[in-house]
Amino acid sequence: MALRVPADPRLRSLLERLDRPLYSTSVNRSGQPALWRVADILGEFEAAVDLVVDAGDLPGRLPSTIVDVSRRPFRILRQGALSIPPEALA
Amino acid sequence: MGSGGLSDYRKVEAGRGQLNANIEELKRINSGLRREVESLGSDPERVALEARQLGYFREGQRVVRFQGQAPRPSYFTLGALVRVQVPRERPDWIWKLAGMAMPLAAYAAWALRRRLGHTAVGVLGGRRSGKVSTPVGVLRGRRSGMVSTPVAVLRGRSSGMVSTPVGVLGAAGAARSMRIGAAEPGLADRLADLLAGGGVAIMPCDTIYGIVGPAPGSEAKLRELKGRGEKSFLQLIAGPSGWPASAASGCPNRCPLTGRARSPSSSR
């Protein structure tokens, strides 16, 4: 199970209000690159989801880093926006 | 059209034909004259005839003149020279202007139609959401191949579609989503209602856009959306307090991985 406490205060307040976790997954079909252009997202998924929050295009962003902390040494499962010094993984 | 056009070309061709005929005629006349010159030089009878006409007679000859109408002097008509009609310089600017204006007009008509189409869908979007600020995004979604969605069908039916009953739209629109600006007032309420009701949304999630849905409950929907197998989804939580105390108690104030201090709000 992977967990994240979002940095975005609005997202956190939404989670507090819902009082339950939210699944979060990148906007793409499995195996495809994550979409960052609003136009692409609308074209591909608009009909499939209930709401699209448009914050403009988000170019050059990386997904979050996922680290397996269930056993030592920790392993990076997905290298994303946060880089972790190797010594911290031991 | 214009000078040097097809009709001018035809005229020039006709002129050429006439000139060729003219040349043939001149050749014929030329050979006649040549024969006459030869006979004047070699035939004594002919010379005598010509001399008589000029008033010279041989000795012993008598002249009897009949008064009457004098024969008309005949001239060779050296062929009926044709006047080749050089095509008049007609003003070209009309055609040139038309040539430029027509594509422009076609483009303008096309753009206008497109614009009208946008407006029509914008009205639809406004009806459903009460906000008219998102017509283009809605249209984009429609145009990119989601032909099976109800609104696309409506749009295809007519571009005006003001008369479409709103009730029908509301019912049909249940399967489709709406775009909303990140700064729209009331966004948080709407998101909370939607997610609490089991819906899924696309929104910016710290880094990139993410598809979010309530956990548990929306796994199947998300998997279907992504075409994804058994891999589990990342879960967003408000903070350690959202988890069992046993999980939260061990959480230090400093991130064990980066050594960064946690912000107060995330360590609650």
Q: Are B138 and B178 in contact (CB under 8 A)?
A: yes
ipTM surpasses cut 0.85: no
pLDDT higher than threshold 70 for residue B128: no
Share of chain A above pLDDT 90, in %: 0
- What per-residue confidence (pLDDT) applies to B59? 78
Contact B235 A24 (CB under 8 A): yes
Whole-number Å distance between alpha carbons of B86 and B12 = 7
Report yes or no on whether pTM surpasses 0.90: no
Check CB contact of A24 with chain B, cutoff 8 Å. yes
With a cut of 70, list the residues of chain A below it in pLDDT. Answer: 90
How sure is the predictor about B28, in pLDDT bands with cuts at 50, 70 and 90? very high
Cβ neighbours of A21 in B, within 8 Å: 214-215, 235-237, 242
Three-state DSSP at B105 gives helix
Alpha-carbon gap: A47 to the closest alpha carbon of chain B (Å): 5
- What per-residue confidence (pLDDT) applies to B205? 81
Token digits of residue B88? 């008049």
Residue at B19: amino acid letter: L
- Nearest-CB residue to B195 (from A22, A63, A89): A22
Residues B89-99 have a mean pLDDT of 83
Best of A15, A28, A49, A67 to substitute, by most chain B Cβ atoms within 10 angstroms, is A49
Whole-number Å distance between alpha carbons of A58 and B207 = 8
Measured between alpha carbons, how far is residue B198 from residues A50, B25, B226 in Å? 10, 101, 17
Three-state DSSP at A68 gives strand
Specify the range with the lowest mean pLDDT, choosing from B193-197, B199-203, B237-241.
Answer: B237-241
Greater confidence (B108 vs B57) lies with B108
Contact B229 A20 (CB under 8 A): no
- What per-residue confidence (pLDDT) applies to B1? 61
